Structure 1
Amino acid sequence: MLRILIADDHEMVRKGIRELIQDHPGWDVCGEAGDGLTALELALKERPDIAILDISLPLLNGVAATRRLVHECPRTRVLLYTMLDDEESVTNGLAAGARGYVLKTDSAEHLTSAISALGANRPFFSSLVSEILLETVNHRKRSRLDSFTDRELQVAQLIAEGNSNKATARTLGISIKTVESHRASAMRKAGVHTAPELVRFAIKHKLIQA
């Protein structure tokens, strides 16, 4: 039995993926989440074979969640299922450790094929994503996000989403002082000095959506 976790902040998208999985013999949904933190918690508990993540997840985006999953659940293969088809999103997602990348504009057959491929421990990319990879493989620019730690990514996203230091500390279960330290480090690495600048950086690098 192939055990699959679904994470998307839109209920109708989760419903569509769930029905596709339930219609396939030998596949089972072991958990669903509407945000990245919940998805990570479920993955650590359920240890799914495959985690299907949207990139634009609240609280912890799909790229950051992928980095955590690859480190903490190495047997779980991550499939990014998203509307984002730009070079930055694709390269960041794959650099984080995703084994598959499918666009929501692709057909349901693409998603089925991707799940089958990852279930057999093979990578899968939609045709447009493959083209982006071919164009960038020899001249990819290093992303500023590559230098961020996982915690710095979490803090930067939560702050950019409008959370205060206190709310961020409560969400992550850490002290306000620790949040302030991670926030300062993230802003330094991003090359910004104010909260509005951090928001613009987060939007540009797909940590949050505009």
Structure 2
Amino acid sequence: MNPPEVIRLLLVDDHKILRDGLRSIIEQKTNLHIIGEASDGRAAIEQCNKLLPDVVITDVAMSGLNGVEATKQIHKKHPHIKIIGLSMHANKQFIQGMFKAGAYAYLLKDGDSSELITAINSVHQNKKYLSKKIDQSYLTLLNREEVIVDKELSSREIEVLQLIAEGNSSKEIAELLFLSSKTVDVHKNNTMKKLELYTIPELTKYAIRNGLTSLE
């Protein structure tokens, strides 16, 4: 019998203790090799560009750049990389957002360790997987037209929106995204017009409701 195919993985979570927990589970399988880690969405994109893993396991709600937007950017550039979303949340906004962004699986953080291994093997075989603790009918959302964020918002506007919701000023956002404060304000104003939301509290509620951030 031939040995199982080696699967190369990247772990993404802004809590090291959770990454360590995932590592301890995964390293029990000889065919699963962890080739890198990242603590936020932007680092995950950089690691994917550099390491080209087979599978990425990423937290969904991370500060700076959330897992949905990171997944979207990774999937666009590297469609062969299979992405597994990992979250505390079972609501449809997070689930649909990850699948629409290009993820192949969605797991809950309180799930069984065996389910993580099952999900890794499933996505590596081009099969989608949804946590057993979640209503399986949610998979029908994949065939619907509704999306987690208004289609007119650009990736940059989504980044700015998340950072606004997380309490950052225009100056702070400019430093994080290597933009001018004026450019950030342009993105903010465009986002407000598109969403017809004109206050920071309204934008924050929208970002939370649509899974851009959970403010964990």
- TM-score strictly above 0.5: yes
| Alignment deviations for residues 86-121 of structure 1 (CA, whole Å, 9 cap, x no partner) | 011111111111111111122111110000111222
Residue matched to 1:106: 111
Residue matched to 2:188: 183
- Counterpart amino acid of residue 109 in structure 2: K
TM-score, normalization: structure 1? 0.91
Shift of 1:145: 3.5
In 2: Cα distance, 1:129 partner to 1:76 partner: 26
- Counterpart amino acid of residue 90 in structure 2: D
Q: 1:119 to 1:142 in 2, by over 3 A?
A: closer
8 Å CA contact retained: 1:101, 1:124: yes
Q: 1:19 to 1:137 in 2, by over 3 A?
A: closer
Unpaired segments of 5 or more residues in structure 1? none
TM-score, normalization: structure 2? 0.89
Residue matched to 1:133: 139
In 1: Cα distance, 2:144 partner to 2:9 partner: 34
Residue matched to 1:42: 47
Q: 1:137 to 1:168 in 2, by over 3 A?
A: closer
Residue matched to 2:67: 62
Residue matched to 1:76: 81
In 2: Cα distance, 1:183 partner to 1:48 partner: 34
* Counterpart secondary structure, 2:184: helix
Mapping for residues 87-126 of structure 1, pairs under 5 Å: 87-126=92-131
Shift of 1:81: 1.0
Query: How many residues get paired?
Result: 209
Unpaired segments of 5 or more residues in structure 2? 1-5
8 Å CA contact retained: 1:144, 1:190: no
Shift of 1:153: 0.9
Q: 1:27 to 1:79 in 2, by over 3 A?
A: same
Identity of aligned residues (%): 33
8 Å CA contact retained: 1:90, 1:129: no
In 1: Cα distance, 2:142 partner to 2:40 partner: 31
- Counterpart amino acid of residue 176 in structure 1: S
- Counterpart amino acid of residue 102 in structure 1: L
Q: 1:112 to 1:157 in 2, by over 3 A?
A: same
Shift of 1:139: 6.1
Q: RMSD of the TM alignment (CA)?
A: 1.8
In 2: Cα distance, 1:106 partner to 1:129 partner: 14
